[in-house]
Amino acid sequence: EVQLVESGGGLVQPGRSLRLSCAVSGLTFDDYAMHWVRQAPGKGLEWVSGISWNRGSIGYADSVKGRFIISRDNARNSLYLQMNSLRAEDTALYYCAKDRATGIRGGLDYWGQGTLVTVSS
Amino acid sequence: DIQMTQSPSSLSASVGDRVTITCRASQSISNYLNWYQQKPGKAPNLLIYAASSLQSGVPSRFSGSGSGTDFTLTISSLHPEDFATYYCQQSYRFLTFGGGTKVEIK
């Protein structure tokens, strides 16, 4: 059974940092690209960042470019999101999701249940 | 950046109705278009990938069509469990989601 389990969310003050993790099991992790997608309360889905299987292709939404860093450890079957200079508008449920493809090109066929990040003073 | 525009933003329909949702890209994206269903409190579920390919386990009443800039998701006969929010998403250049279409019970 494929499982994606996010962790690391919580309440953080504006301007501070937070690191999210996603532990993946039940598949060959390094065969697929991976993504972070967020959803603000009551709002739609927003792609945050994605990374190809070999880290050769990495992309960010304009809203987080220069502040967030995506990474992966294929030996640990884990995906990460380092979030710096957090703003109130970063408040959201953050999902980890698996791409159907090795590159950032397919649909997202497996998702975690999300970890909530709240940015507030 | 590629923008994705979905319409309508919401619709009311009855069980058994045929429902069509459209998605337009701000530039040609070939067939790099995916559709998702999301129910309240749950993660999204991939329905259609590459514009018209049915994801494994998804009922055949769901279908997708289109290429270039204009795409359609069709539910041939609405079931009670299909009341949800639907999102399109392009994967031609990184990823962008549409704004969503909420399908409600009439």
Per-residue pLDDT reduced to its tens digit, A60-109: 999 999 999 999 999 999 999 999 999 999 999 999 999 998 888 889 99
- CB of B83 closer than 8 Å to CB of B103: yes
Residue A49 pLDDT level (bands cut at 50, 70, 90) = very high
Q: pLDDT value at position B69?
A: 98
Q: pLDDT value at position A106?
A: 81
- Among the partner-chain residues B44, B49, B96, the one whose CB lies closest to the CB of A111 is B44
Which residues, in sequence order, are bridge partners of residue A9? none
Mean pLDDT confidence for A22-48: 97
Q: Is A106 at the interface with chain B, CB within 8 A?
A: yes
B49 min Cα distance to partner chain A (Å): 6
Cβ contacts from A onto B, under 8 A: 64
What is the rounded average pLDDT for all residues in chain B?
A: 97
Mean pLDDT confidence for B37-63: 98
Q: Which residues of A touch B49 (CB under 8 A)?
A: 100, 106-107, 109
Q: pLDDT value at position A120?
A: 97
Residues in Cβ contact with B40 at an 8 Å cutoff, skipping those fewer than 6 apart: none
> Which residue in B58, B86, B95 has the most chain A C-beta atoms within 10 A of its own C-beta, making it the best mutation to test that interface?
B95
Residue B47 pLDDT level (bands cut at 50, 70, 90) = very high
Buried b (16+ CB within 10 A) or exposed e, B2-36: bebebeeeebebeeeeebebbbbbeeebebbbbbb
Whether the per-residue pLDDT at A4 is higher than 90: the answer is yes
